[in-house]
Amino acid sequence: MVNGPLQKAVLQLSKLDNQINEIIINYGLPSDKMSKGGFDTLLRMIVGQQISVKAADAVWTKLKKIKANIPKNFLLFSDNKLREAGLSRQKISYGRDLAENINSGSLELDKLGKLPGKEAHLNLTKIKGIGDWTADIYQLFVLGDMDAFPQDDLAVQEGAKRFFKLNHRPKGKELLKLAEKWKPLRGAAALVFWQIYRIEIHEGSKFN
């Protein structure tokens, strides 16, 4: 059963590309889980930067316990209190910049979905600590922008390597060129690459 926009986009893409269709037949549809978005989601992404999933989960649990996942609350806590929760000095700075931009109205998260993809991307990346990858992930899984394409995601690159039967992992610009043919559904292609990565790496199936 197709539940939402992510899987619908993948099925739409599969009608245009037979190889995508074969992946769906062999590996199934990717997850259709969307996120509610907001400060909470973006701060969680910042927390997870450059640390393990386990460590990020531990920090996030502490932040939620003191309700620092709310913009106005985050700004009220001292740096020492936030460091006690496990945030680095740099991530505290990122969190404050994000909270201040939301509170001031400079970043209107509820309006991003109404903007063209490039404009929404620029609005997000103007915030300290939010780079292209974070913006792309937010656009895809929160805003439902099916052309958002996280070309620097390692799992997407590994999935693409197998999809295109390459002997190397395609990076940034090369992967963008390979995905050009799927506009405006490049995000759906990314979902397929993640599915390949999940099956290949984590479940050990053979990709034909």
Domain ranges of the chain: 5-32+148-203, 39-141
Would you call 27 exposed, middle or buried from its count of C-beta atoms within 10 A (0-12, 13-18, 19+)? middle
CB atoms within 10 A of CB 205: 13
- How much is the pLDDT for 203? 61
Average pLDDT over residues 126-140: 96
Average pLDDT over residues 147-170: 96
- Label residue 1 by pLDDT band (50, 70, 90): low
- How much is the pLDDT for 206? 47
2: pLDDT strictly greater than 80: no
Decide yes or no: CATH 1.10.340.30 for domain 39-141: yes
How many residues are present in the chain? 208
Contact status, residue 34 vs residue 27, Cβ threshold 8 Å = no
Percentage of the residues of the chain whose pLDDT score is greater than 70? 95
Average pLDDT over residues 134-147: 96
Tell me what the pLDDT averaged over the chain comes to.
94
Angle between helices 186-197 and 18-27 (to 10 degrees): 40
CATH no. for 5-32+148-203? 1.10.1670.40
Under 8 Å CB-to-CB from 36, ≥6 apart: which residues?
142
pLDDT in tens, 6-30: 999 999 999 999 999 999 999 999 9
Average pLDDT over residues 156-163: 96
Best CA proximity match to 10, nearest among 205, 202, 193: 193
93 φ, ψ to 5°? -60, -45
Average pLDDT over residues 140-147: 96
pTM score, whole prediction: 0.91
208: pLDDT strictly greater than 50: no
Average pLDDT over residues 187-194: 97
204: pLDDT strictly greater than 90: no
pLDDT in tens, 90-124: 999 999 999 999 999 999 999 999 999 999 999 99
